[in-house]
Amino acid sequence: MVVRPIRPKSKARSLGLLVVLVFISLYSHYRRHHARYAEASTLTFGKTWVHRSWMKYPQPLSFPGSPSLLNKANPKALNVLFVNYHAGVEMEVHAVLAKVAASINQSVHFTHTRGVGDLADFIVTEAASLAYYPLHTDHCNSSIYDLIVVGDVVTYSRPYLQSACKTNIILYITNRFDFSINNDSEYHALLSTASRWPNVRVIVNNLHEHNYALTARNADIHVYAYAPSTGLLSDTARNMLSDSQVNWSTVDKNELIVVNKPGQNSLHSLLEKHEIPLPFIPSRYGGPLGLAGRFLVHIPYQVNTMALFENLNNGVLYILPSVRLYCAWLEDGTATMDSGERRWTEKELRKYVDWYRTDLSYLFFYFEDIEDLAPKSAFREMVEKEAEAKRGAVRNYMLYHVDRTIEAWRQAVGSFPRLSDAQVVRRDVPLVAELPQVADLPPATPGTKAIE
């Protein structure tokens, strides 16, 4: 057998053929990937970044001179499609948007739906979303709805994002962005990408959301604003008091109470074991107005809750296990945070968890031992002695807190054009600096540097 040497010309031809084949392979992969979703993303150093959206990000379309959704000169009604199932989130969004719109004499009209949640509950898969959206394309009709707000379980946004919905969208994340579908990497990439679209704003109500997305899911979600709940009362919250199962006239105002909420059974067991008599209040207690002005003993089970600032705004004083005691309870299983998915360090608790954040800790009382809760203990005497001063500190903080959160929502809504009236202009040179946007807000707590 004679082996013929490859001459320079043949070698160049083979190399050229190899390059062509590699290009065809890569291009085919690109086309398959980009045909799957209307948006596209690239991975850079393990992070998901957008380079295109329905507007071919960064935005070759603009709306020069088009009216904002918040237009003082021509205050049209704001028509909102509210996709949500959580009562606390509903109360918050209703109250805040009413405040935002009322400041310029606009009205807000809500249409409520649980969206794809009625079809898929919390497990919102790609298939469920593909089945849902063709039956509800009217949700993305900007002549019907000026704004879609997806609250709490933002996986309910998947049908709209997956179909490149052009309507203005606010994703209000309060309970992990991938609740119940935390192993779905395609959804993680979709949220990371969509958070940078010009028609999407992400608002988070706690500082852990972005950290969780990065560290637990490798998802780099762009956050428009950190805006924890205001605790403003809506008509829904006022109506809750009439449904209370508790006769509050029989419970002394200075009594420490425990509410039957998730994560509190272990506290109840500890109190019984040590024969410490604290009233255990049923879950239907009348909402924040039922607890108003009282002392609430609580074991944190999430980084925050919608009830936290509702209660603070109504004079409730929280009594919590100290960070040392809480870490011990996490270790032995007495307490869990976020279903025990991660192993929390004291440093993380102080940075991300509202109950223990360094800048918020002055709003709470902390006990070092379960015996501190016993009647006539030195701790309880201290609580009663310092209660009014603590309430004054909470009131002052909440004034700042409420104004800041309303301003965050005002900027988010006002940053959108009213698409039904918009004059679209296509431009050749995209202005990269315009996107993605971030709200211009003061620090999360007065007298501190920005910590978001």
Question: Residue 144 pLDDT more than 50?
Answer: yes
Q: Both 190 and 162 in a single domain?
A: yes
Nearest to 296 by CA among 325, 255, 267: 255
Q: Both 383 and 418 in a single domain?
A: no
- How many domains would you assign to the chain? 2
Minimum mean pLDDT range among 16-25, 95-104, 429-438: 16-25
More confident residue, 220 or 432: 220
Q: Both 227 and 258 in a single domain?
A: no
Within-domain flag for 447:
no
pLDDT for 339-380, tens place per residue? 777 889 999 999 999 999 999 999 999 999 999 999 999 999
Q: Both 289 and 331 in a single domain?
A: yes
Question: Residue 174 pLDDT more than 90?
Answer: yes
Is the pTM higher than 0.75? The answer reads: yes
Q: Both 393 and 426 in a single domain?
A: no
Within-domain flag for 89:
yes
Q: Do the Cβ atoms of 327 and 368 come closer than 8 Å?
A: no
Question: Residue 89 pLDDT more than 60?
Answer: yes
Domain hosting residue 71, numbered range: 61-231+412-434
Q: Which domain CATH number covers 71?
A: 3.40.50
Within-domain flag for 138:
yes
pLDDT of residue 37: 36
pLDDT category at 76 given cuts 50, 70, 90 is very high
Q: Both 199 and 113 in a single domain?
A: yes
pLDDT of residue 64: 59
Q: Both 360 and 430 in a single domain?
A: no
Which residues does 259 contact at the CB level (< 8 Å), separation at least 6? Answer: 280, 281, 283, 285, 291, 296, 298
Neighbours of 262 (CB within 10 A): 12
Q: Both 67 and 184 in a single domain?
A: yes
Q: Both 106 and 143 in a single domain?
A: yes
Q: Of 373, 398, 423, at which residue does a domain stop? A: 398
Q: Both 257 and 292 in a single domain?
A: yes
Within-domain flag for 194:
yes
Within-domain flag for 18:
no
- Mean pLDDT, the chain, integer: 84
Within-domain flag for 39:
no
Q: Both 285 and 375 in a single domain?
A: yes
pLDDT of residue 238: 76
Q: Is the peptide bond before 436 cis (omega within 30 degrees of 0)?
A: yes
Within-domain flag for 31:
no
Within-domain flag for 146:
yes
pLDDT category at 108 given cuts 50, 70, 90 is very high
